[in-house]
Structure 1
Amino acid sequence: MFNGLRIGVTGMQTSQKVMDNVADQIANSTTGGYKKKEVRFGDLLRNEISRSHAAVSENAEGASIGIGSRALVSKTNFTQGVLKPSESPFHMAIEGNGFFGVMTAAGDLLLTRNGAFSMSADGALTDGEGNGLVYESYVPAGSIGSYDGMSISENGVISGRNDRGEVIELGRVALFQPGAEDGLISLGENKYFLPEGMEMANSIDDAQGFGVIRHKHLEESNVDIAESMTEMILTQRAYQLNAKSITTADEMLEVINTII
């Protein structure tokens, strides 16, 4: 009977964690480059049922009963979101594999799929938090903003027109691909940190295996609102079911105590 209470409690706790994750998905459904996390139910320790404990059918092999559930965060889902057009000359999106690299003020390299970059006052390409976009520059630092008609090719080459109207190459955006995406550490704000010792390739040294850059596009979140709403309803029902099981177990204990 006490196991029944324990199972109901762990079920409610698990449902709450799943609901928190669903709420986070819905809240970030319009956040550029956001990648949803997958949370699933998992059994706690299972106890085998033998014929000395209960009447078990001869056809029931390996019969057992769980003692509760827990929430399992399997991994971040890095599937690509829909690409939408943008008017900004500094916006870009990756179609296929790869991440943009941004450098923090402390010198740490972070990875992101959010290509909503802008030109800072000192002529650097930065994200919304002021972290600098990692790219190979062919012109003096801070001068890229002085060129007109800036465009970015599929392989990341940045071009612009000089004072004589000539199109010249200004630099090349670097894309990065970790050895195992599941090993990336999420820092929030659509940014990921590479664990120490993990290998990482970049498109400057070898462009094979990377996606293409779409200039004047942004990648939307990969959250499916309909799917998230369905998951929310199912999780609510699971929460209610576990709450009901606790109520039922409590009523049964009350009856037993009355009899005794």
Structure 2
Amino acid sequence: MLNSLYSGITGMKAQQTKMDVLANNIANVNTTGFKSQRVRFQDMISQMDSNAQGPNGNGRGGINAQQVGLGSSVSATDLMMQGGALQFTGRALDFGIQNGDNSFFVVSQDGNPGGRHQYTRDGGFYTDYEGNLTTANGMRVMGFSTEIMTEESDYDATALTQENNFGALSIPQTYNGLALQDYSIDDTGTIIGTYSDGNAYIIGRLALSTFTNADGLEKAGENLYNASTNSGAPTIGGPTDDGFGTVRSGFTEMSNVDLATEFTEMIVASRAYQANTRSITTSDEMLQELINLKR
């Protein structure tokens, strides 16, 4: 059988994978903090019809190898980690990360500081009736808590980033008999609560994580990422610290999907798929002519 039949099939499969990725990008155009993907291709092994030969002693020149390719395959599906635009919401528990494409919020299923953590760019958080800071799916938001709340005038953001202070964040509704009146989060991720005595107290600070190779993170669904063997171990710190982004309260990060690019790539993929099907039908016509020689 003609190799072109199978080369056409590999091309169709590769373009179908590209269409799958493009469709997923478009489906998540309004997903908070979504990072788009792109597909890259590579050629497959080639059939060697004739090896290369160098010049010989009789004055004859060299001859290049004769090879016939056997199709294409997907080489990579890259994560495009560029930050999306920040959209104003005005909600106190909405957070967007600015100037930190490799920074992520840290969340945990059970809030255990030494447990399994996951990472997200979706900063739309909530509080439950106990004051725990959670994601939309109930994951606990991790950060740096203070055992004894201090007044804002005594605030030291770096002191909150000590390792023994790392854990799940909560905003207590009462403290030493005082009732919570209001709270706010500044650009350093520090949660400042105002209680019924009129004083502002430091409650905690949001944690961020960075990775040596953020492109190596694995998508886990629900706007979450898992660390992988190629992403490197996470480095935990606070917003505005060296190497970390800045947290903007009242904003959420929009998807970085560019619809113009996605639709253009969709046209390219569609035509490439059509061309591969045409190579199969043309190869079939050649086989038909060969069979007709028997008549």
Residue 95 of structure 1 deviates from its aligned partner by 0.6
Q: Which residue of 2 aligns with 1:257?
A: 291
Q: Which residue of 2 aligns with 1:125?
A: 133
Q: Which residue of 2 aligns with 1:202?
A: 236
Q: Which residue of 1 aligns with 2:279?
A: 245
Structure 2, gaps ≥5 residues long: 53-60, 149-168, 175-179
Matched residue of 2:130: which SS?
Answer: coil
Residue 68 of structure 1 deviates from its aligned partner by 0.6
User: Does the CA contact (< 8 Å) of 1:152 and 1:215 recur in 2?
Assistant: yes
C-alpha change, 1:162 and 1:236, in structure 2 (3 Å) is same
User: Does the CA contact (< 8 Å) of 2:98 and 2:246 recur in 1?
Assistant: yes
Residue 205 of structure 1 deviates from its aligned partner by 11
Superposed CA RMSD:
2.6
The counterpart of 1:77, out of the listed 70, 76, 80, is 80
User: Does the CA contact (< 8 Å) of 2:43 and 2:73 recur in 1?
Assistant: yes
Q: Which residue of 2 aligns with 1:235?
A: 269
1:172-219, CA deviations, whole angstroms, 9 ceiling, x for partnerless residues? 001101222132222122211123693221114992111100111000
Matches of residues 34-183 of structure 1 in structure 2 within 5 Å? 34-48=34-48, 50=50, 64-97=67-100, 98-105=103-110, 107-138=115-146, 142-145=170-173, 147-183=180-216
Q: Which residue of 2 aligns with 1:192?
A: 225
1:205-247, CA deviations, whole angstroms, 9 ceiling, x for partnerless residues? 9921111001110001111011001111110101111111100
Residue 48 of structure 1 deviates from its aligned partner by 4.7
CA distance in 1, matches of 2:5, 2:66: 21
C-alpha change, 1:249 and 1:155, in structure 2 (3 Å) is same
Structure 2 counterpart of 1:144, one-letter code: P
Matched residue of 2:78: which SS?
Answer: strand
User: Does the CA contact (< 8 Å) of 2:51 and 2:66 recur in 1?
Assistant: no
Q: Which has the larger radius of gyration?
A: 2
CA distance in 1, matches of 2:239, 2:85: 28
CA distance in 2, matches of 1:120, 1:5: 59
CA distance in 2, matches of 1:77, 1:5: 34
CA distance in 2, matches of 1:175, 1:247: 54
User: Does the CA contact (< 8 Å) of 1:113 and 1:190 recur in 2?
Assistant: yes
Normalising by structure 1, what TM-score? 0.89
CA distance in 1, matches of 2:281, 2:202: 70
Matched residue of 2:243: which SS?
Answer: coil
User: Does the CA contact (< 8 Å) of 1:35 and 1:190 recur in 2?
Assistant: no
4+ runs of 1 displaced by more than 6 Å?
A: none
Matched, 1:211 2:245: yes
User: Does the CA contact (< 8 Å) of 2:192 and 2:203 recur in 1?
Assistant: yes
In the alignment of these two chains, the number of paired residues is: 255
Q: What percentage of residue pairs aligned between the two structures are identical?
A: 33
C-alpha change, 1:205 and 1:231, in structure 2 (3 Å) is closer
Structure 2 counterpart of 1:241, one-letter code: A
CA distance in 1, matches of 2:93, 2:173: 10
Q: Which residue of 2 aligns with 1:55?
A: none
User: Does the CA contact (< 8 Å) of 1:86 and 1:218 recur in 2?
Assistant: yes
Structure 2 counterpart of 1:166, one-letter code: N
1:50-96, CA deviations, whole angstroms, 9 ceiling, x for partnerless residues? 499xxxxx999566432111123242111100001112211101012
C-alpha change, 1:199 and 1:51, in structure 2 (3 Å) is closer
C-alpha change, 1:142 and 1:51, in structure 2 (3 Å) is closer
Q: Which residue of 2 aligns with 1:223?
A: 257
Structure 1 counterpart of 2:129, one-letter code: A
Normalising by structure 2, what TM-score? 0.79
